[in-house]
Amino acid sequence: MSGDDGRRAESCKHQATCAMYSLFQHAGTLAVFQMRYCNGAYTECARYKRASEGLAVPLNLMPNGQLLKKKG
């Protein structure tokens, strides 16, 4: 992903270990979050913010700050 000035955007340093990836059964849904947050504006990701502050990151916390409803 490139920025408006032609520079390549940085990826989130937590991407390789983020538990969020296990939440999605549909690759398309995951790809949307990856484009928007993981490979783009990752500093806006609620998961990234909590991890960077040393706080626990709930498994069901979405990058946009919403909580995914738990099954059951």
For residue 15, the number of C-alpha atoms closer than 13 Å in the C-beta half-sphere is: 17
Q: 């390789």: which residue's tokens?
A: 16
CA neighbor of 23 nearest in space, from 71, 55, 65: 71
Q: Reply yes or no on whether the pLDDT at 64 is more than 80.
A: yes
Write the CB contacts of 49 (distance below 8 Å, at least 6 apart in sequence): 43
The full DSSP string for 47-68 is: HHHHHHTT----TTB-TTSPBP
Domain extent listing, the chain: 1-58
| Model confidence pLDDT, tens digit, residues 1-54 | 344 444 456 899 998 889 888 888 778 888 998 999 999 899 999 999 999 999
